[in-house]
């Protein structure tokens, strides 16, 4: 394929110069109101019909009749009513574009060019009696440059009261989520259906507005890179296709393109500078339209099957397209020249998505894989089996992660290397489309049944489900009011259930505490009794050996007492006798004081009597001391004997207590496990009931908040 675009190749045949040379100027029937028959045909006959007439139609173009000329050639329409600068009939003839017409010749005279210009500006009438063709007003939404990152100012969101919220169509069941897009900078999600676009708030799940799409089924949705515009594309299979651009804030239709489409548009995208809309259809054609006037800027015929995926790179430099046969290409956005052919997929390309820096392209396919491609050299960087049976959609988040969904009914979040980070709950049917919100915190996906779910990207928790078959606003208000009443009943029931569960848990906990206390007391009492048996037995055992020595000591002291008492008694007798004898002698000596012998005898007798008295006192004291020692020995022996007896008795009593307690301890201990199980079960039962109560309260709060929003929402003017 030459580097020259296909459009220019076909246009090369357009306006081939006839063999006649320009000799002069034509005369016009009405130079102020030219017509095709009277004013344009003479110019075309003179310069063009030799190659573009009934006999020969280079490039598929026949200018011999008005109808044939308006049909255009194989490269598209040549006249855009009202805009000569977008009409190749004029721009090529005026040598404003390549290839210049007539080729290899001077430009046709200025007067004839003025006739062509004026005729196009006035709507291109066929005859004086004809009405001018509808002149499509120019739309200026193009940007002077492409700004990377988030634009300044608040993110565009639908303005309350500007968009209608009543559905254009309400079916018997929800629509399959064939088209889905998330705003790049706002909490806004667009879902396509039959003849309408539904706009949802990504945080609350509320329906913010409905955009009518009268052209049939919506197959593709794209937000502009600055989030101010929404492109919806689709149509009627085998009949027509349209791509419509809407203002996000007001819901107003900005423009539409697709006059050349004879089949439904399957995928479409708006260029970063908002000047071009690229569409892919079942005709295997990529057609690029000018947003300003809806004219065809270029056509690309490389694909061999339906063009199912189209997306401009964020920087506006490249255009990626994929087809039903697995063909995947990258083109220069402004020229249509082929940039890369990306080979690897073996089945239909279901989606393409550029990373925000435009350096990497992701593609998903019915072959089940997601692949990453380098934009610079077109090499495959990564490939992984994402969804068995088919990967139906892929989306590059701002943070470089990717989300995908597929025929396995699962939606997944991957890191930039293809490692799965989160897997979300399965859909009822195959997943069709996926997107990630502007702040990378939520993943949205929809399936064939029309189920649309919004999950938290951090923990895969389901945050909301949106209705893809919404009720009219009045009915929705009524249903929401009923939902509030139902939610209040549910809260009351769940609160009562929670109170009952908590009471049961407390009862079970108290019962467990009592059983545990009883088991503890039983075990402690048994241990104390067993210790008493041991302690008293040990004490008796320790005291028993001391009893015999104490008895021997007692016997010894008893014998000693008898001996000392006998000695004292004997001394007492002799002492009395000595005292009497001494007195007798003293009395005799007193009678005979002159007898010295008798006086000496009396003195000696008195000394002996005194000694006897002293000895008697000593003997009596010894007898008293011996009696005291005997008593001490007796007391010690009695104490030891009593101690042994007491300890033996206490040990016997403790043993009886052990015998009585032993049968009760095990049942008390065994009762703890079932009581604990009952307590654990009762307490565990509280958590789900508490969660249900919390969920019911949250649902009530959410439903009330939704009701308040519905009541406060202004009604869009008819």
Tell me: do 521 and 502 sit in the same domain: yes
Do β-strands 462-466 and 452-456 pair in parallel, antiparallel, or remain unpaired? antiparallel
Specify if 162 maps to a domain: no
Quote the CA–CA distance of 378 and 390 in Å, as a whole number. Answer: 23
Whether residues 365 and 400 share a domain: the answer is: yes
Cα distance between residue 702 and residue 160, in whole Å: 20
Residue 475 CA to residue 286 CA, distance in Å, equals: 43
Q: Between these two residues, 221 and 86, which has the higher pLDDT value?
A: 221
Asked whether residue 136 is domain-assigned, the answer is no
- Residue 16 reports pLDDT greater than 50: no
- Is the predicted pLDDT of residue 1 greater than 70, yes or no? no
Q: What is the pLDDT of residue 716?
A: 55
Whether 215 and 236 have beta carbons less than 8 Å apart is answered as: yes
Q: In terms of domains, do 222 and 88 share one?
A: no
Count of domains forming the chain:
3
Bridge partners of 279, per DSSP, are: 268, 287
- 447 and 481 share one domain: no
Q: Is 120 helix (H, G, I), strand (E, B) or coil?
A: helix
Q: Is the dihedral of CA 544, 546, 551, 554 positive or negative?
A: negative
Per-residue pLDDT averaged across 268-296, rounded? 95
164 DSSP 8-state letter? B
Confirm if 454 and 416 have CB atoms less than 8 A apart. no
Residue at token pair 């009931």: 689
Given 470, 500, 532, the domain boundary residue is: 470
On whether residue 561 sits in a domain, the answer given is yes
Residues 427 and 576 reside in one and the same domain: no
Report yes or no on 64 lying in a domain.
Answer: yes
Count of CB atoms within 10 A of residue 694's CB?
12
User: Does residue 389 share a domain with residue 505?
Assistant: no
For the purposes of burial, counting CB atoms within 10 Å of the CB of 400, is it exposed (0-12), middle (13-18) or buried (19 or more)?
middle
Residue 715 confidence (pLDDT): 55
pLDDT, one tens digit per residue, over 525-562 is 999 999 999 999 999 899 899 989 988 988 888 888 88
CATH code, domain with 450:
2.130.10.10
Q: How open is the CA angle 448-451-453, to the nearest 5 degrees? A: 130
Summarised one tens digit per residue, pLDDT across range 624-670 is: 998 998 899 899 899 989 999 999 999 999 999 999 999 999 999 99
Distance of CA 636 to the CA centre of its chain: 87
Contact 87, 119 (CB under 8 A): no
CA angle 456, 414, 389 (to 5 degrees): 105
CA distances (Å), origin 430, targets 350, 383, 448: 13, 22, 6
In a domain, 666, yes or no: yes
In a domain, 709, yes or no: no
Pick the closest to residue 265 from 324, 308, 323 (CA basis).
308
The answer to whether 564 and 556 are in contact (CB under 8 A) is: no
User: Is residue 454 domain-shared with residue 499, that is, in the same domain?
Assistant: no
Q: Which H or E run includes 339? A: strand 338-341
In whole angstroms, what separates CA 488 from the centre of its chain?
Answer: 28
Q: What is the CA radius of gyration of the chain?
A: 58
Is residue 504 over pLDDT 50?
yes
Residue 1 covered by a domain:
no
Q: Is the pLDDT of residue 8 over 50?
A: no
Share of the chain above pLDDT 70, in %: 94
- Joined tokens for residue 583: 């007195």
In this structure, the answer to whether residues 351 and 244 fall within a common structural domain is yes
Closest by CA to 403, choosing from 448, 375, 441, 449, is 441
Residues 208, 113 share a domain: no
Instruction: Mark whether 264 and 314 lie in a shared domain.
Output: yes
**Gap between the Cα atoms of 611 and 623, Å rounded:** 18
For residue 423, what are its two tokens? 């897997």
Instruction: Tell me the C-alpha distance between 613 and 602, whole Å.
Output: 16
Residues 437 and 583 in one domain: no
For residues 630 and 410, the model is more confident at 410
Picking from 121, 137, 163, the residue at the C-terminal end of a domain is 121
- Residue 74 tokens read as 């194989």
Buried b (16+ CB within 10 A) or exposed e, 133-152: bebbebbebebeebeeeeee
Q: How far apart are CA 647 and CA 537, in angstroms?
A: 6
Could you report the per-residue pLDDT of 364-407, keeping only the tens digit for each? 999 999 999 999 999 999 999 999 999 999 999 999 999 999 99
Question: Of 418, 439, 470, at which residue does a domain stop?
Answer: 470
Q: Are strands 188-192 and 194-201 parallel, antiparallel or unpaired?
A: antiparallel
Name the more confident of 372 and 67: 372
The answer on 512 and 463 residing in a single domain is: no
> Quick check: 601 and 586 in contact, CB under 8 A?
no
Q: Determine which helix (DSSP H) or strand (DSSP E) holds 443, and give its type and residue range.
A: strand 442-447
Please give the DSSP secondary-structure letter assigned to residue 57. B
Give dist(CA 227, CA 232) in Å, integer. 14
In a domain, 687, yes or no: no
Element housing 590 (H / E): helix 473-591
Domain of residue 639: give its range. Answer: 477-676
Kindly report the pTM of this predicted structure: 0.64
Q: What angle do CA 412, 415, 420 make, to 5 degrees?
A: 40
**Predicted confidence (pLDDT) at residue 358 exceeds the cutoff of 90:** yes
pLDDT at 717 over 60: no
Residue 408 has φ and ψ, to the nearest 5°, of: -80, 5
CA proximity to 267, closest of 287, 238, 295: 287
Which residues fall within 8 angstroms of residue 400, CB to CB, at 6 or more apart? 355, 356, 415, 416
Give all strands of the β-sheet with 431-436 in edge-to-edge order. 431-436, 442-447, 452-456, 462-466
Q: Which residues pair with 384 in a beta bridge?
A: 370
Contact 474, 711 (CB under 8 A): no
């Amino acid at each position: 394929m030459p580097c020259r675009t296909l459009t220019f190749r076909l246009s090369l045949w357009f306006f081939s110069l006839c063999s006649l040379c320009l000799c002069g100027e034509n005369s016009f029937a009405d130079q102020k109101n030219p017509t095709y028959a009277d004013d344009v045909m003479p110019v075309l006959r003179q310069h063009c019909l030799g190659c573009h007439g009934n006999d020969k139609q280079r490039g598929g173009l026949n200018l011999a009749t008005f109808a044939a000329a308006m049909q255009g050639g194989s490269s598209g329409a040549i006249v855009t009513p009202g805009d000569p600068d977008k009409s190749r009939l004029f721009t090529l003839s005026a040598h404003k574009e390549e290839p210049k017409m007539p080729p290899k010749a001077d430009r046709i005279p200025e007067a004839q060019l003025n006739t062509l210009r004026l005729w196009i500006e006035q709507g291109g009438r066929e005859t004086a009696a004809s009405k001018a063709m509808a002149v499509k007003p120019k739309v200026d939404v193009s940007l002077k440059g492409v700004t990377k990152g988030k634009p300044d100012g608040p993110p565009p969101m639908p303005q309350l009261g500007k968009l209608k919220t009543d559905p254009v169509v309400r079916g018997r069941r929800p629509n399959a989520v064939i088209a889905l897009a998330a705003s790049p900078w706002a909490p806004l999600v667009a879902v396509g259906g039959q003849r309408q676009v539904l706009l949802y708030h990504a945080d609350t799940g509320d329906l913010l507005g409905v955009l009518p799409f009268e052209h049939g089924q919506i197959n593709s949705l794209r937000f502009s890179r600055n989030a101010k515009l929404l492109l919806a594309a689709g149509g009627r299979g085998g009949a027509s296709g349209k791509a419509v651009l809407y203002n996000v804030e007001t819901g107003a239709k900005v423009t539409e393109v697709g006059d050349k489409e004879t089949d439904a548009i399957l995928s479409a995208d708006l260029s970063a500078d908002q000047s071009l809309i690229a569409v892919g259809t079942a005709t295997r054609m990529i057609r690029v339209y000018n947003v300003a006037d809806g004219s065809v800027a270029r056509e690309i015929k490389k694909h061999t099957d339906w063009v199912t995926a189209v997306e401009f790179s964020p920087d506006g430099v490249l255009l990626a397209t994929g087809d039903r046969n697995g063909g995947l290409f990258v083109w220069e956005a402004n020229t249509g020249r082929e940039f890369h052919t990306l080979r690897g997929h073996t089945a239909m390309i279901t989606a393409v998505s550029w990373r925000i820096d435009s350096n990497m392209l992701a593609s998903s396919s019915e072959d089940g894989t997601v692949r990453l491609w380098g934009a610079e050299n077109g090499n495959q960087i990564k490939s992984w089996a994402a969804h068995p049976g088919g990967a139906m959609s892929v989306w590059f988040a701002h943070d470089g992660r990717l989300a995908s969904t597929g025929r396995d009914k699962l939606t997944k979040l991957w890191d930039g290397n293809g490692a799965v980070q989160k897997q979300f709950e399965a859909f009822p049917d195959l997943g069709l489309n996926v997107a990630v919100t502007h702040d990378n915190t939520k993943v949205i996906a929809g399936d064939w049944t029309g189920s649309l779910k919004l999950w938290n990207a951090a923990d895969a928790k389901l945050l909301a489900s949106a209705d893809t078959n919404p009720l009219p606003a009045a009915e929705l208000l009524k249903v929401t009011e009923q939902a509030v009443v139902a939610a209040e009943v549910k809260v009351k029931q769940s609160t009562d259930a929670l109170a009952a569960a908590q009471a049961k848990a407390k009862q079970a906990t108290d019962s467990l505490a009592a059983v545990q206390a009883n088991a503890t007391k039983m075990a402690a009492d048994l241990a104390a009794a067993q210790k008493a048996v041991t302690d008293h037995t040990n004490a008796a055992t320790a005291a028993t050996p001391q009893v015999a020595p104490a008895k021997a000591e007692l016997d010894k002291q008893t014998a000693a007492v008898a001996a000392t008492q006998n000695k004292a008694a004997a001394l007492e007798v002799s002492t009395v006798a000595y005292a009497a004898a001494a007195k007798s002698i003293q009395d005799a000596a007193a009678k005979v004081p002159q007898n010295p012998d008798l006086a000496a005898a009396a003195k000696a007798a008195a000394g002996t009597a005194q000694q006897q008295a002293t000895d008697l006192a000593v003997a009596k004291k010894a007898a008293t001391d011996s009696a005291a020692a005997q008593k001490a020995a007796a007391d010690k022996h009695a104490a030891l004997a009593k101690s042994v007896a007491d300890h033996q008795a206490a040990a016997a009593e403790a043993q009886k207590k052990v015998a009585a307690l032993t049968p009760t301890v095990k049942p008390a201990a065994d009762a703890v496990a079932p009581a604990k199980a009952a307590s654990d079960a009762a307490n565990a039962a509280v958590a789900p009931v508490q969660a249900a109560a919390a969920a019911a309260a949250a649902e009530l709060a959410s439903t009330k908040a939704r009701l308040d929003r519905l009541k406060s929402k202004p009604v869009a003017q008819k």
